[in-house]
Amino acid sequence: MIQYNRFVLDNGLRVLVHEDPSTPMAVVNIMYDVGARDENPAQTGFAHLFEHLMFGGSIHIPDYDEPLQRAGGENNAYTTNDLTNYYCQLPAENIETAFWLESDRMLSLAFSEKSLSVQKKVVCEEFKEHYINKPYGDVWHKMRELAYTRHPYRWMTIGKELSHVENAHIDDVKHFFFKHYRPVNAILVVAGNVKTEPIRQLAEKWFGDIPMGEKYRRSLPQEPEQTQARTLDVEADVPLDAFVKTWHMDARLDKGYYEADLLTEILGGGGSSRMFQSLVKEKQLFSNLDCYHFGSVDKGLVAVEGKLVKGISIDTAEKAVEEEIEKIQASVVSDTELQKVKNKTESVIAFEDMGIMSRANSLAMYELLGDAQLMNTELERYHRVSAADLLQTAKRIFRKENSNTLRYHSRQS
Amino acid sequence: MIQNRKKAPGIVDAVDMKLQLKPYEHFTLDNQVPVYTVDAGSQEVLMLEWVFYAGNWYEKKNIVAATTNFLLKNGTSQKNAFSINEHFEFYGAYLNRSCYNETATVTLHCLSKHLPELLPVVAELITESIFPEEELAIYKQNQKQRLQVNLKKCDFVASRLIDEYLYGLHHPYGKYTSTLEYDQLEKVELVHYFEQFYVHGRCMVFAAGKLPGDIALQLNNAFGHLPLNAAALPVIDYPQQPAGTKKYRITNDAAGVQGAIRIARPFPNRHHPDFQRVAVLNNIFGGFFGSRLMSNIREDKGYTYGIHSYLQNHIHNTAWMISTEAGRDVCEATITEVYKEMEVLRTEPVEEEELDLVRNYMIGSLLGDLDGPFQIIARWKNYILNGLTEDYFYNSIQTIRTLSAEELLALAEKYLQPEDFYELVVV
């Protein structure tokens, strides 16, 4: 059970405080309700580029990192398709430094041309390092475009193409900032060796006078229900054939999300999972195989992904995956399997909750979803799932017409 | 209230904060296996690690140590691979194994309440593993495929080659794997290695987290009677055979859009008086986000997503390494800038303001690193394996607090000479 206190400033900034006197440190975590899904299709990768610019100086403070490091702190940030999160950890005595820095960059960035031009290059190198200069680096670009026809999950957080990042203009940066980076669209979580009352005063002092901004009302194009299976064949200069298949699943807060999560564990979580045992060990069709989902806020994807053993045809591998899928749609999972994946979930949650950084991040995430208290009821939601629920959800998700298949052929073979 | 937002709030200098490394508890099992524990944490979870002197230092043939370690989970005289995995996974536990140079480990993460069901099976793995032919064949096939994919990546290729240049292909720190060596592996070699370095090997145990009150009894019942820590370890000395040529340019992928850059020089281990001092210099040079290399090459020029320098974590001799992936057309410019930063460190004393920042950053980061039982035991493990005591911890804090700009200049003059560095770009 994670305890916290919650209050809202007059400008709409939501503040959560989690007190943990066992650590000498404090974490300040700010989550902004904006991710790659909120981008203009002609300017993808912008939310993530923007995350870089948040370190390029704010209106009163030329450099974010330096004063934080001087206070003994460290920080980082990440962007997903759903949200953008900034966090820093520092000795609790110096927590006001984090309030000063974070509030100034929420008040306004410096909008430096130099920072924009350098960070465009840095992000392009990041793009190359992870998605161009790596074998199979474009798999998820292609799969997202195949699986989504309308919803902005069509593109990856890094962006659709380098040119979108290269073409970003300072006016776009300003517009994006004042639309999304306002108190009313943000959540502040403070965790560690802190007390709520002093934190409330610091929050008022540093964040209280920032103009509220306009609440961002998200109205994204929804993905129409898929009615026909889609397949894409690709050829690339890679050593081995690869196979990726996805199915649309439920949104983060739906009951079906928890069921899909457990199903992916049964199919592909660990050495005793069904697909690993059958397809990697017994039939030896894949040299590695994973089954997982993206944890997306809107309707996400369940994925099966693997590289084929040399000499095995993609048809054979695909057929074997389908057999496993048919099996889980045909009969209920065993009591042992169900208990196993629930035990794993309990363990994962306990390990995740060990550090204050991760606790702060989870609190922000659940608050963004609508209620931080969800963090404490999550395990219960998993426990309530029955074998019959899993069967029903497997039948619904794993329909052929709901599937997308990417057959990634090695040009050499 | 109108804030003066230009003025930073007052801070307590991290260098003035009191840092303490929580001491470990220590006991030995009936067979003299030492156990080190740190009992702390709020969640009902724990981590147990069995460290064997079974790393690639002791193998006579390449990849025997790593394969033996990997296949510990793939079959015993009582259970097949599936049953082993199912047992740990049923209890929500994670059993991992890793092979390093001197040591090889088995690590268990689990909810404390499930320990009684898990310990006997860990004991079974380290005494009764049988290395089935079928499992070895699957492992060989999948590892060869994985290697084939990795060899397409410039960073993977560069990391292998730079170690080869520094230590030589016959040194445990410099050697790497090949398809041929996977093909030549035989079951009997694994069985022998297992017998000598696990069943009759030298072992120590590290435990951290919320430990059950009877942890000593539980461990002794499961492991205290095993034939461990009786035989002496072979003493093997590998001569370091560094390459004669210093500079390399390699094309791995003609169409590559980035190059992996590695620049490195040999460096003594933690027992050398300069080690902790150079750790401070390294921080200034390329050890954190605010470092010289990062500020210049990423934040000013945008040549790379990230550039880092670090001292390799080796028990014997080690190396000082600079590592980055940069745009193909700016690789040479990146290297020029790295040498420029070395020159600046050799010729201009670090300003007090920057030095203060680095001191505070290092101490603050140390404070954060000591937060939690797993982090504390990891530090202790590192000290114990390197033959260091807690003095090392307090000395290193003292060094961070007091090392002067003049001393840094002298260290840069001694160690940051371009001609001492190997230099490699793999596109």
- Mean pLDDT by groups of 10 residues along chain B of 427 residues: 84 87 96 96 91 97 97 97 97 97 98 96 98 97 96 96 97 95 97 98 97 96 97 93 97 94 97 96 96 96 96 95 97 98 98 95 90 93 96 94 97 98 98
Chain B partners within 8 Å of A271 (Cβ): 73, 81-82, 84-85, 89
Closest residue by Cα to residue B46 from B271, B291, B263, B218: B218
B368 touching A (Cβ < 8 Å): yes
* B69, HSE (Cβ side, Cα atoms, 13 Å): 26
- Residue that terminates a domain, selected from A150, A175, A207: A207
Cα distance between residue B279 and residue B291, in whole Å: 13
Same domain assignment for residues A89 and A234: no
Which of A161, A192, A207 is the last residue before a domain boundary? A207
A138 and A131 Cβ atoms separated by less than 8 Å? yes
Q: A268 and A133 share a domain?
A: no
Q: Which residues pair with A79 in a beta bridge?
A: A84
Q: Does A319 touch chain B (CB under 8 A)?
A: no
Domain containing residue A378: 230-410
What pLDDT score does B1 carry? 54
| Cα distance between residue A246 and residue A403, in whole Å | 6
Say yes or no: A393 and A244 in one domain: yes
Q: Give the CA diameter of chain B.
A: 77
Residues A96 and A238 in one domain: no
Is A51 a known active-site residue? yes
Given an 8 Å threshold on Cβ–Cβ distance, is A69 in contact with B288?
yes
**Confidence (pLDDT) at B16:** 84
DSSP helix/strand/coil, B226:
coil
A224 token code pair: 């129409």
A82 and A166 in a single domain? The answer is yes
Question: CA–CA separation, A87 vs A102, rounded Å?
Answer: 10
Residue A226 pLDDT greater than 80, yes or no: yes
Q: Are B148 and A239 a contacting pair at CB < 8 A? A: yes
State whether residue B77 is helix, strand or coil: coil
- Per-residue pLDDT tens over the stretch A318-345: 999 999 999 999 999 999 999 999 999 9
Residues A269 and A402 in one domain: yes
CA separation for the pair B198, B54 (Å, rounded): 7
Q: Does the structure's ipTM exceed the value 0.90? A: yes
The catalytically annotated residue of A51, A259, A265, A305 is A51
Please give the Cα distance from A394 to A262 (Å, whole number).
10
Compute the distance between CA of residue B268 and CA of residue A157 in angstroms, rounded to an integer: 43
Q: Do domains B25-223 and B247-426 have the same CATH topology?
A: yes
- The DSSP line for B10-30 is P---GGGS----PPPEEEE-T
Contact (CB<8Å) A72/B43: no
Test the B interface: residue of A287, A309, A346, A375 with most B CBs within 10 Å: A287
* Phi, then psi, of A282 in degrees rounded to 5: -80, -55
Instruction: Measure Cα distances from B283 to A233, B94, B159 in Å.
Output: 48, 34, 21
Task: Let me know whether A85 and A119 are in one domain.
Answer: yes
- Does residue A221 fall inside a structural domain? no
Indicate the angle between helix axes B275-282 and B352-369, nearest 10 degrees.
110
Quick: pLDDT tens for A361-378. Answer: 999 999 999 999 999 999
Spatial separation of the C-alpha atoms in residues A5 and A19, rounded to whole Å: 9
Residue B9 Cα, gap to closest chain A Cα (Å): 6
Task: Provide CATH code, domain B247-426.
Answer: 3.30.830.10
Mean pLDDT, chain A, rounded, equals 96
CATH number of the domain located at residue range(s) B25-223 in this protein: 3.30.830.10
The answer as to whether A214 is a domain residue is: no
Three-state SS for chain A is CCCCEEEECCCCCEEEEEECCCCCEEEEEEEECCCHHHCCCCCCCHHHHHHHHCCCCECCCCCCHHHHHHCCCEEEEEECCCCEEEEEEEEHHHHHHHHHHHHHHHHCECCCHHHHHHHHHHHHHHHHHHHHCCCCCCHHHHHHHHHCCCCHHHCCCCCCCHHHHHCCCHHHHHHHHHHHCCHHHEEEEEEECCCHHHHHHHHHHHHCCCCCCCCCCCCCCCCCCCCCCEEEEEEECCCCCEEEEEEECCCCCCHHHHHHHHHHHHHHCCCCCHHHHHHHHHCCCEEEEEEEECCCCCCCEEEEEEEECCCCCHHHHHHHHHHHHHHHHHCCCCHHHHHHHHHHHHHHHHHHCCCHHHHHHHHHHHHHHCCCCHHHHHHHHHHCCCHHHHHHHHHHHCCHHHEEEEEEEECCC
Tell the residue number behind the tokens 């929050």, with chain if given. A203
The span from the CA of B145 to the CA of A50, in Å, is 38
Q: Is residue A183 domain-shared with residue A48, that is, in the same domain? A: yes
Residue A173 and residue A54 share a domain:
yes
Distances (CA, A) of A168 to A42, A104, A152, A164, B395: 10, 23, 19, 7, 49
Q: Which of A207, A222, A248 is the last residue of a domain?
A: A207
Are B288 and A66 contacting, i.e. CB atoms less than 8 angstroms apart? Answer: no
CATH of the domain at A313: 3.30.830.10
The token duo for B179 is: 């398809």
Q: How confident is the model at residue A15 (pLDDT cuts 50, 70, 90)?
A: very high
Looking at the complex, does the CB of residue A64 fall below 8 Å from at least one CB of chain B?
Answer: no
Looking at residue B226, its amino acid is L
Contact between chains at B85 and A272 (C-beta distance less than 8 A): yes
Residue B243 belongs to what H/E stretch?
Answer: none
Q: Is A183 on the interface with B (CB under 8 A)?
A: no
- Does residue A217 sit within a domain? no
Structure tokens, A194: 């802190």
Give domain status of residue A134, yes or no.
Answer: yes
* Distance (Å, whole) CA B159 – CA B151: 11
B138 contacts in A (CB within 8 Å)?
Answer: 280-281, 284
For tokens 């054939």, the residue is A241
| Closest-CA residue to A268 (of A256, A286, A250) | A286
For B413, the enclosing helix (H) or strand (E) is helix B405-415
Do A283 and A373 share a domain, yes or no? yes
A62 and A166 both lie in a single domain? yes
Contact B357 A288 (CB under 8 A): no
Residues A236, A326: one domain?
Answer: yes
For residue A22, tell me if it sits in a domain: yes
Give residue A60's pLDDT band: very low, low, confident or very high (50, 70, 90). Answer: very high
| Chain B residues with beta carbon closer than 8 angstroms to that of A65 | 289-290
Domain boundaries, chain B: 25-223, 247-426
CA distance B69 to B49: 14
Residue A77 lies in a domain: yes
Which residues share a beta bridge with A19?
Answer: A192
Q: Residue-wise over A114-128: b if at least 16 C-beta within 10 A, else e?
A: ebbebbbbbbbbbbb
The total domain count for chain A is 2
Domain-embedded: residue A225: no
